[in-house]
Amino acid sequence: MKKRYKKEGISRLLKMKADELERMPKKREINDDPRLPSSETYRKYIGNLPELAKEMGYKSWRGARRKEILKKVGEMGKKLGRMPTYIEMRKSDENMPSPRLVIKYFSSSNNLREKLGLQTQKRLIYSDEELLRRLRLRAEELGKAPTMKEVESAPSLPSINTYVKRFGSLGRALERIDWKKKRKHWKKR
């Protein structure tokens, strides 16, 4: 049997959560809280969350200007002492704009760095052979196929996104260096 909600009741629950956080809860926070209906329920009964945030008196980044977004990301960067990653922005407890919105406005982290007055990163272009050679060395160093985290944490390897863009997935890149998957572990053929 489906639950029936009243607009006033679910609005009150969301307001309590927002007051508790001192900001509008993010979609994942709504979905993770067992006291609240899902974010989809809010969308269905009340409308989208950014509009609801404005009605409740909380900041919504939808329709925000570049200057506001730049200022907020810059504040987080000052606290960290470096450029925040998109993951840090998404997981932040502060009222941060979504990484998707930041990308929409600035198109890349280098453009954002430039606007914040930070040094941009040089973009290295690797050949397929060089990418696979580095991955093979990492696998041999570990004695097993590296996980995504192990690829990201290795300073000698480019980001996991580079492998995904070039080969389709980390698994396909590992197959190219002659590692195959058996059950849950990668082993040398």
DSSP secondary structure letters along 65-131: -HHHHHHHHHHHHHHHTSPPPHHHHHH-SS-PPPHHHHHHHHSSHHHHHHHHTPPPPPPP---HHHH
Query: What are 179's strand-pairing partners?
Result: 188
Shortest CA distance to 92 belongs to which of 28, 151, 39, 37?
A: 28
Question: Which pLDDT score is estimated for 185?
Answer: 52
Q: Which is it for the CA torsion 127, 82, 66, 161, positive or negative?
A: positive
pLDDT tens per residue, range 68-92: 878 888 888 788 777 777 777 777 7
Q: pTM for this one?
A: 0.40
Look at the block and give the residue holding tokens 């993951």. 87
pLDDT digits (tens, 9 = 90+) for 92-108: 766 777 777 777 777 77
Q: Nearest to residue 2, comparing CAs of 40, 52, 46, 28?
A: 40
pLDDT at 149: 83
Residues of the chain with pLDDT under 70: 1-3, 58-64, 93-94, 109, 119-124, 180-189
What pLDDT shows up at residue 2?
A: 59
* pLDDT the model gives residue 184: 47
